[in-house]
Amino acid sequence: MTAQEPIRLYGTHIAADPTDLYEEIRRSHGPVAPILLDDDVPAWFVIGYREAHHVTSNPQLFARDSRRWNQWERVPEEWPLMPYVGWTPSVMFAEGPAHQRRAGAIGDALDIFDRTEVAAVCERAADLLIDEFSGDGTADLVEQFASQITLHVLARLFGLPEHDIPVLVQDVAESLDVDEKAALAHGRIQERMRRLVTDKHDRPGFDVPSRLLGHEAALSDDEIIIDLLVVMAAAQAPVGNWIGNALRLMLIDDEFSVSLQGGRSSVSHALIEALWKDTPTQNFIGRWAVHDCELGGRRIRRGDLLVLGYAAANRDPQVSPSYHQAGTNRAHMSFGHGEHGCPYPGPEIGEVIAKTAIEVLLDRLPDVTLAVDAKELQWRPSFWMRGLYTLPVAFTPTTRVDL
């Protein structure tokens, strides 16, 4: 690998643990590296912390509207990464005042909930999920707990009817598949959001869509529907993987054994350390250069795509904290940064969900232990998200909670 040769960042060689690959790229290419995505489509990989911070801090130089891309003629219609780059009229690709209007409304809608209310909703959801397996003595904490709880909480914050929640959870799971069921499931989710917004016109409540409908930003129904889908997608997998990754850390690391004996003092520490070591959103597409410019010693052309390497930036030796500092240092890039980072109060609510979920689990199952050797745990083969296939555990069977 030389500094002139672009690196192919797709295929099996990056599937398992890309940490060594990131460091090799840093040594041979520096903080900004030429890469090839699927079908050898070129882009830039921003892995330096300062460079990533610069890109995310300057939307006037590195923008979000994917229609700026100078490589569209090389991208096939069925490109695997099309869900990340295909422009939609959502808050994700909006820029300037339009983005501020949409993101501001979302932030205001989420901020109506006191954090203790969110924690109470999460406690109830966690108890309901744990009740399903607490009597078994074994469970897969990814499939049966971490991957589901965020949706249960969001559904309640969205004001969805109770009977719709299990169906939504199933549809979201199917929408992540790669077969024809995925498109059908996505269509059902979108239709459910459309019905929800229509219902909130007639019967508004203390919930996110009702707040968006009444917001001074005067959002249209179509804007609200697509942005509700964005909020759901931006929260479900990242927070679920955050919970799973932190639980893995707590189960395999003696540093956190106090938490597995009923204590809570290490939960926050483990969550922050997981963001530094195994951040759920490893890499993010992206930004598009508004003008020709220089970044990290590279000449970037107008319309070039930049992939933000959040995981690699977190491990930049110039800023990466020591082991004992990681759990208290919140300067990581895991929620992005700047105008297009996860908007307030999203990270705060995500942390309330993750922290509460883990605390309830440890309260209910205080002797939970890993049911397999730690080396048997397998990460999903994704360059974009960091999460486990399974997290099998064992514990003393307990009775369900009387809610």
pTM of the shown model: 0.93
pLDDT 10s digit of each residue in the chain, 403 long? Answer: 555 789 999 876 666 667 888 999 999 999 999 999 999 999 999 999 999 999 999 999 999 999 999 999 999 989 999 989 999 999 999 999 999 999 999 999 999 999 999 999 999 999 999 999 999 999 999 999 999 999 999 999 999 988 888 888 888 877 766 556 777 888 999 999 999 999 999 999 999 999 999 999 999 999 999 999 999 989 999 999 999 999 999 999 877 764 555 455 589 889 999 999 899 999 999 899 999 999 999 999 999 999 999 999 999 988 876 555 555 677 788 888 889 988 899 999 999 999 999 999 999 999 999 999 999 999 988 889 999 999 999 999 987 766 5
pLDDT at 11: 78
HEC readout, the chain: CCCCCCEECCCHHHCCCCHHHHHHHHHHHCCEEEEEEHHHEEEEEECCHHHHHHHHHCCCCEECCHHHCCCHHHCCCCCCCHHHHCCCCCCCCCCHHHHHHHHHHHHHHHCCCCHHHHHHHHHHHHHHHHHCCCCCCEEECHHHHHHHHHHHHHHHHCCCCHHHHHHHHHHHHHHCCCCHHHHHHHHHHHHHHHHHHHHHHHCCCCCHHHHHHCCCCCCCHHHHHHHHHHHHHHHHHHHHHHHHHHHHHHHHCHHHHHHHHCCCCCHHHHHHHHHHHCCCECCEEEEEECCCEEECCEEECCCCEEEECHHHHHCCCCCCCCHHHHCCCCCCCCCCCHHHCCCCCHHHHHHHHHHHHHHHHHHHCCCCEECCCHHHCCECCCCCECCECCCEEECCCCCCCCC
Could you say which of 3.20.20.70, 2.40.50.100, 1.10.630.10, 3.40.640.10 is the CATH number of the domain covering 7-394?
Answer: 1.10.630.10
pLDDT computed for residue 13 by the predictor: 67
pLDDT at position 381 is 83
